[in-house]
Amino acid sequence: MSALSYNDSLELDLQAYAHDNEKVETAFQALESLTYTQDLMADGDPGLDETAYKLVQHSVESFLRLGRIGGNPNKILPDLQSFKSHDLNHAALESFSEGIKNVFMSIVNTIKKAYQWVVGLIKRIFTRNKDREEKVADLKHKADEVKDQASSLTEDEKRTAPYPRDHNGYFVKVDLSRPEILKPICTGDGIMNGAYLAKIGSEMMKVFNAQAELNRSAKESIIGDKVESKPMPMPFMETHDSKILQAARGKDGSTKVYASEEFGENTYVTIQMAPAPEQADMKANLQWVDKLHIGKTKVEGVINYAKYAVLDNDFANPDKLIENIMFLNKTLQTFAEKIEQYQHDKAAFIKAVEAKIKKHGASLFSSKEKKEERDIMMYDLKFFQKTMDQPALTYYGLVDQMVNGFINLSTYVLHFNRTNGNHVELKRHGH
């Protein structure tokens, strides 16, 4: 890694987290298939023939194979002999219900692991922020060296090299030989300035307030403290930008898309939400939550970074660039503390789901009287799994990349100053 490249990123952590979420979504799909099959059986149909049984068995194995979600497919379904076309016995139905309970618990345990993973991530984040503070101190030291070096120069000497120096001792312009380092901090309108960073900080506050409300509402719903439904909190405005809509929802014109401010490389945080169900039944609600999606959306298009390769004004001033790093790092520290604060509601939600399953046992998944409660719990779990950390962590990760971008830009600008702005030499030495 080049001395001018700083890349301590959360990206790999967040990719692993997203991968685990995908596995849970796959498990939910199979679980719905199982519960639907069970409902048909409980309604008095003659049972499953061998072909139908094998399809259900394959559905179970597809997400439990190799311990993907920690279950055992042999303990989910009773033997085929229990599903004779004209002899579906009560024991078979109870055995099926016990298997569905086990799948529920496997999903809950996976969500619990994700919660524990975030607790560990918070500790790593605090360590990273401390490392960033040390990096800023190093940049400040190098900036002082540049200014000290320039203070002894005559006015004629200050006018040498490609660009003259300003009153601070920095070059009034800096020519980047590697404009691609601007990727994390450059939108379609150019390099992010102080006013734009302030907008990011303000929006991040809305994201984290919404995240706290989502976790609190999930806890209240599963515990039963409040039964009234509330609209999902939205930290972003609905977008009508055709490029964002196309990238996020494709041709599904009924889905609304809420989009954040633009991040580097034409990237946005988006929330894709289908219209609210016209009829207030649980099947419609489950279909609605299936279509809910929170994540990054990248719009097609190429930003010409070379267009911004010659820096001037604040972008050529290391002091101003370091201020940007300090502002963003302080913002990340503040919201890392908020991530820590709302873990309590998440823990309460998971504990309440476990308690319900243990209290009712398999009867929660076999009794017709319990069907509505089972479906509500499935809805709560699916909604919680989709929103548990996604808005906050996705946004946090993109701001984290912005910090890296400004650290790399500051390092480059200082290096340019320390080598007397000899741009040709910079290129020759591969910087």
If one counts every other C-beta atom within 10 angstroms of the C-beta of residue 317, the result is: 21
- Amino acid symbol at 161: A
Residue 158 has what pLDDT? Answer: 83
269-327 residue pLDDT tens: 999 999 888 777 778 888 898 889 999 999 998 899 999 999 999 999 999 999 999 99
- pTM, two decimals, is 0.85
* pLDDT grade for 262, boundaries at 50, 70 and 90: very high
Which of 5-9, 106-110, 116-120 shows the lowest mean pLDDT across its residues? 5-9
Which of 397, 425, 379 is closest to 281 using CA atoms? 379
Which of 232, 354, 228, 374 is closest to 293 using CA atoms? 232
Residues 6+ apart with CB under 8 A from 58: none
Percent of the chain with pLDDT over 70: 77
More confident residue, 243 or 389: 243
156-173 residue pLDDT tens: 888 877 788 988 899 999
Strands (E), 5-129: 83-84, 87-88
Residues 237-245: what's their mean pLDDT? 95
Q: What DSSP state is assigned to residue 172? A: S
Residues 6+ apart with CB under 8 A from 272: 248, 249, 255, 256, 257, 291, 292, 293, 294
Q: How many residues does the chain have?
A: 431
Which of 10-19, 34-43, 101-110, 347-356 shows the lowest mean pLDDT across its residues? 34-43
What is the rounded CA–CA span in Å between residue 244 and residue 266?
A: 9
6-59 residue pLDDT tens: 666 677 677 767 766 777 777 777 777 777 666 666 665 555 566 666 666 666
352 has pLDDT over 60: yes
Q: Check if the beta carbon of residue 78 is closer than 8 Å to that of residue 87.
A: no
Residues 6+ apart with CB under 8 A from 401: 9, 11, 184, 263, 264
Residue 73 has what pLDDT? Answer: 58
Mean pLDDT of the chain: 81
CA distances to 186, 187, 280, 307, 315 from 190, rounded to whole Å, are: 5, 5, 46, 9, 11
* pLDDT grade for 86, boundaries at 50, 70 and 90: very low
What is the rounded CA–CA span in Å between residue 316 and residue 413?
A: 7
Structure-block tokens of residue 273: 């939400």
More confident residue, 140 or 425: 140
What is the rounded CA–CA span in Å between residue 258 and residue 261?
A: 10
Largest CA distance in the chain: 101
Percent of the chain with pLDDT over 90: 36
* pLDDT grade for 131, boundaries at 50, 70 and 90: confident
Q: Check if the beta carbon of residue 155 is closer than 8 Å to that of residue 26.
A: no
| SS3 at position 162 | coil
More confident residue, 243 or 83: 243
Question: DSSP letters of 352-416?
Answer: HHHHHHHHHGGGGGT-GGGHHHHHHHHHHHHHHHHHSSHHHHHHHHHHHHHHHHHHHHHHHHHHH
Cα angle 28, 32, 35; round to 5: 135
207 has pLDDT over 90: yes
- Amino acid symbol at 273: M
What is the rounded CA–CA span in Å between residue 300 and residue 367?
A: 50
210 has pLDDT over 90: yes
Residue 116 has what pLDDT? Answer: 81
CA distances to 75, 116, 278 from 348, rounded to whole Å, are: 28, 13, 31
Runs of H (alpha helix) within 224-307:
242-249, 282-291
| SS3 at position 294 | strand
Q: What DSSP state is assigned to residue 67? A: G
379-426 residue pLDDT tens: 888 888 888 888 998 999 999 999 999 999 999 999 999 886 654 344
* pLDDT grade for 243, boundaries at 50, 70 and 90: very high
* pLDDT grade for 117, boundaries at 50, 70 and 90: confident
| SS3 at position 133 | helix
Q: Is 44 left (phi over 0), alpha (psi -120 to 50) or beta?
A: left
- Strands 173-175 and 310-312 come out as antiparallel
79 has pLDDT over 70: no
CA torsion through residues 190, 192, 198, 204, sign? positive
